[in-house]
């Protein structure tokens, strides 16, 4: 998991009461769109698609809509979104809603959004993530919406911001390569991180809310881990489940271990990994990597990690 000190951003305060938000991308980013309106309105999606459609908040103010192409074919949508989310939260925004592909509502959710056309923004209907956040610190609502997806060889980010005043839209986005520490934390393949650090989070896993069964998706991290273990039969890996701090400890430990066991079962049944190379443990909320006091932190704490224990 990426250290908070690496991905945290600084807010640049000017003499005026407005804020310039600075974002560091996890790899070199090329701007593809940048449009601003001094006064407008945008719906902000704050729920998945359901029987009544997508729940929207009406936001009014100065509007900026920007997009970037991320020049890295090894980053998952979560690896692109996670550092941006952390920086937005560090800048004082509260996450209102966040979802991934099927949990968003798939096709119906994506087409409920105001999305830039190709080639400015590419959305893979089988692999996208969305985040909506709000900052009320200045006394008026300031909204940010992120849509992240990828193609076969690049990532894409669309940001929509609705702020009280056009001066508040100032965004300094780093489009260069990230600092070495951030690049190594995000850009290294799973097995390289596992060898280097002795542990690595399986960032693309998805579970139904409150359930232990791993959803029936294709997971690049499991493919990489299986390939590594079958090529090195002397190695062993412990899968460790983690939860946020919602609920009692005993129940969370049971849930976290059940999720880790679900990952073990999938590696054995679908990827033919010898079961003697795997084991499952759960620690509930006892090893957080972020605060459990906000939605973004709780999302980061819900994870399964692979720990290398065999030589």
Separation CA 241–CA 260 (nearest Å): 5
How much is the average pLDDT of 272-293? 92
pLDDT 10s digits, 43-57: 999 999 999 999 999
- Model pLDDT, residue 271: 94
Phi then psi for residue 228, to 5 deg, are -65, -45
Model confidence band, residue 304 (pLDDT cutoffs 50, 70, 90): very high
- Model pLDDT, residue 138: 65
Q: For the chain, what is the mean pLDDT?
A: 83
Model confidence band, residue 193 (pLDDT cutoffs 50, 70, 90): confident
Nearest 5°: the CA angle 157, 161, 163 is: 165
pLDDT(285) > 90: yes
Domain extent at residue 291:
188-308
Same domain, 32 and 50: yes
Separation CA 81–CA 306 (nearest Å): 21
Q: Which of 154, 181, 208 is the last residue of a domain?
A: 181
Model confidence band, residue 16 (pLDDT cutoffs 50, 70, 90): very low
| Number of structural domains the chain divides into | 2
What does the radius of gyration of the chain's CA atoms come to, in whole angstroms?
A: 20
- Model pLDDT, residue 171: 62
Cβ–Cβ < 8 Å for 28, 70: yes
Q: Which of 162, 181, 200 is the last residue of a domain?
A: 181
Same domain, 102 and 23: yes
- Model pLDDT, residue 144: 95
Separation CA 137–CA 160 (nearest Å): 19
The pTM for the full model equals 0.55
pLDDT 10s digits, 228-273: 999 889 999 999 999 999 999 999 999 999 999 999 999 999 999 9
Q: Which of 138, 165, 181 is the last residue of a domain?
A: 181
């Amino acid at each position: 998991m990426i250290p908070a000190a690496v991905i945290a951003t600084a807010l640049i305060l000017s003499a005026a009461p407005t804020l310039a938000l600075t974002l560091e991308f996890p790899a070199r980013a090329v701007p593809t769109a940048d449009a601003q309106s001094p006064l407008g309105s945008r719906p902000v999606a704050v729920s998945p698609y359901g029987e009544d459609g997508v729940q929207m908040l009406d936001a009014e103010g100065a509007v900026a809509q920007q997009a970037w192409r991320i020049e890295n074919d090894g980053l998952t949508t979560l690896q692109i979104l996670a550092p941006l989310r952390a920086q937005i939260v560090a800048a004082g925004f509260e996450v209102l809603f966040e979802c991934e592909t099927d949990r968003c509502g798939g096709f119906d959710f994506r087409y409920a959004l105001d999305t830039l056309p190709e080639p400015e923004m590419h959305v893979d209907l089988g692999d996208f993530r969305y985040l909506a956040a709000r900052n009320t610190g200045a006394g008026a609502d300031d909204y940010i919406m992120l849509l992240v997806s990828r193609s076969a060889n690049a990532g894409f980010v669309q940001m929509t911001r609705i702020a009280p005043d056009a001066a508040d839209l100032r965004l300094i986005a780093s489009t260069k390569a990230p600092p070495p520490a951030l690049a190594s934390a995000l850009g290294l393949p799973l097995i390289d991180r596992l060898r280097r650090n002795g542990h690595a989070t399986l960032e693309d896993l998805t579970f139904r809310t409150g359930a232990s069964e791993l959803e029936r998706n294709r997971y690049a991290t499991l493919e990489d881990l299986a390939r590594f273990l079958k090529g090195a039969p002397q190695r062993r890996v412990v899968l460790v489940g983690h939860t946020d701090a919602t609920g009692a400890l005993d129940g969370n430990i049971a849930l976290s271990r059940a999720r880790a066991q679900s990952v073990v079962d999938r590696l054995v049944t679908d990827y033919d990994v010898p079961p003697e190379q795997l084991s499952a443990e759960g620690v509930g909320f006892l090893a957080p990597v972020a605060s459990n006091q906000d939605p973004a932190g709780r999302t980061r704490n819900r994870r399964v990690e692979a720990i290398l224990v065999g030589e």
